[in-house]
């Protein structure tokens, strides 16, 4: 899962790491110091918009979730695995920049992921995430942000579990789906049926 997360998110990971380096390296210029302050304040917003929002929204928009969630890994395990890797990465970067911003980064990531699950369009989810996060960032402290972020993450997991357990109408060969037949399992069954068509041809 670490390698998969790196392959899919390496551009934003590298870009964010460069921003973090700019924020922590001492500069002699006054305007560069201003840029550092802006990065420190807005870093959690970067995590929210560019890390959290596209995580699920891009999968739905490009319909790659059929492939990603049609493997042996369930949608919930896929989501938790990638979220754990990304949370560890941006938490480490936030600690290097401004330890007091970790709570805001966690909140931003949770808001972005939930927005992506609801909106399911990448650009729209990013815009919604920016608006919601800025409103929460202004009115909440770091501890309250971390608590709310954890609560929103639980909501996201619950909603994703519900989506994954949605019962389909039936499989590709016309037989009704058995109870608890998740839609990602239906896709796997559909793939096996199609392969059997080629073998029998």
Q: For residue 197, is pLDDT > 70? A: no
Tens digits of per-residue pLDDT, 74-87?
Answer: 778 888 888 888 88
70, 187 in Cβ contact below 8 A?
yes
Name, in order, each residue with C-beta under 8 angstroms of 19's C-beta and a sequence gap of 6 or more.
39, 43, 46
| Residue showing tokens 């049926």 | 193
pLDDT of residue 132: 94
The tens digit of pLDDT for each residue in 7-37 reads 667 777 788 888 788 777 776 566 777 888 8
Q: What percent of the chain has pLDDT over 70?
A: 71
Among 69-73, 94-98, 102-106, 141-145, the range scoring the smallest mean pLDDT is 69-73
Question: Which class for 62: exposed (0-12), middle (13-18), buried (19 or more C-beta within 10 A)?
Answer: exposed
Average pLDDT, the chain: 76
């Amino acid at each position: 899962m670490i390698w998969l997360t790196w392959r899919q998110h390496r551009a934003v990971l590298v870009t964010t790491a460069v921003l973090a380096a700019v924020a922590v390296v001492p500069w002699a210029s006054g305007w560069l110091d201003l840029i550092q302050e802006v990065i420190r304040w807005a870093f959690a917003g970067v995590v929210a918009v560019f890390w959290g929002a596209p995580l699920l929204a891009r999968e739905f928009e490009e319909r790659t979730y059929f492939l990603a969630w049609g493997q042996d890994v369930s949608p919930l395990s896929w989501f938790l695995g990638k979220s754990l890797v990304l949370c560890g990465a941006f938490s480490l970067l936030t600690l290097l920049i401004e330890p007091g911003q970790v709570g805001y980064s966690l909140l931003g990531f949770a808001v972005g992921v939930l927005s992506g699950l609801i909106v399911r369009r990448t650009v729209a989810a990013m815009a919604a995430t920016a608006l919601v996060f800025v409103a929460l960032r202004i009115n909440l402290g770091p501890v309250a942000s971390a608590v709310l972020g954890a609560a929103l993450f639980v909501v996201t997991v619950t909603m994703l579990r519900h989506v994954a357990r949605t019962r389909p109408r039936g499989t590709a060969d016309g037989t009704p789906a058995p109870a608890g037949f998740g839609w990602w399992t239906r896709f796997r069954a559909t793939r096996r049926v199609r392969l059997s068509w080629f073998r029998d041809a």
